[in-house]
Structure 1
Amino acid sequence: MTIYVGNLSFQASEDDLKDVFTEYGDVVRVSLPIDRETGRKRGFAFVEMANEANEELAISELDGAEWLGRELRVNKARPRENNNRRNTSFSRNPL
């Protein structure tokens, strides 16, 4: 399971997130997406922990907690929805 962490401060780093989640168990991976166009952080992250029970505890303890001046939204990450934005094809529609 992967944890979604939303409403993050743009000052938060991967190391900061790892420090916070390590209080609940071993952190396997932290991903802090960057906007391709602006190069800025997108305000959310994904955290993967080694133990699902620790993930559940982290979610229950951190959801709604204030961190770096923001109220965190922490929950189970949902699988990416298959959208066809990248595969959009345009066709001419004669009048």
Structure 2
Amino acid sequence: MPSKLYVGNLAYDVTQEDLSEFFSQVGAVQSAAVISDKFSGQSRGFGFVEMSDSQEADRAIETLNDTELKGRRVKIDRARETAPRSGGSGDRRRGGGGGGGGRGGRGPRW
């Protein structure tokens, strides 16, 4: 079963191919993705790699974590599963609220 890894502190010019090649040193890479900003298209400095199994993922963490890729020391850890985001609905708490009634305030200036 594939095992997904988070890869942080990537240089902004790292490509999916670079990630795939880097991780292939320790095992079979199922997929590699560099996350980019949806507006500018520039890398956000992190990505995900899916290794073919849990043992290879562990080996990647032990071997490659805190090693250099394109001039930066990458941070590798198991990816955390996130709950799917819902649409715009739901009970979102809005910050703020009204200003206080209070008594003070400035009086007339005469």
Q: Which amino acid aligns with 2:57?
A: E
In the alignment, what sits opposite 2:9?
7
Q: Distance in 2 between matches of 1:74 and 1:31?
A: 14
Q: Cα RMSD over matched residues?
A: 2.5
TM-superposed deviation, 1:83: 6.7
Unaligned runs of 5+ in 1: none
Unaligned runs of 5+ in 2: 100-110
Q: In 2 relative to 1, CA 23–40 (structure 1 residues): closer, same or farther, beyond 3 Å?
A: same
Q: Higher RCO, 1 or 2 (CA under 8 Å, sep at least 6)?
A: 1
In the alignment, what sits opposite 2:29?
27
TM-superposed deviation, 1:24: 0.9
Q: Distance in 2 between matches of 1:54 and 1:90?
A: 42
Structure number with larger C-alpha Rg = 2
In the alignment, what sits opposite 1:87?
88
Q: Distance in 1 between matches of 2:85 and 2:65?
A: 28
Q: 1:70 aligns with which of 69, 72, 76?
A: 72
Which secondary structure state, in structure 1, belongs to the residue aligned with residue 20 of structure 2? helix
Q: Which amino acid aligns with 1:46?
A: F
Q: Which amino acid aligns with 1:51?
A: D
Q: Distance in 2 between matches of 1:29 and 1:83?
A: 23
Q: In 2 relative to 1, CA 90–53 (structure 1 residues): closer, same or farther, beyond 3 Å?
A: closer
In the alignment, what sits opposite 2:50?
48
Q: What is the number of equivalent residue pairs in this alignment?
A: 93
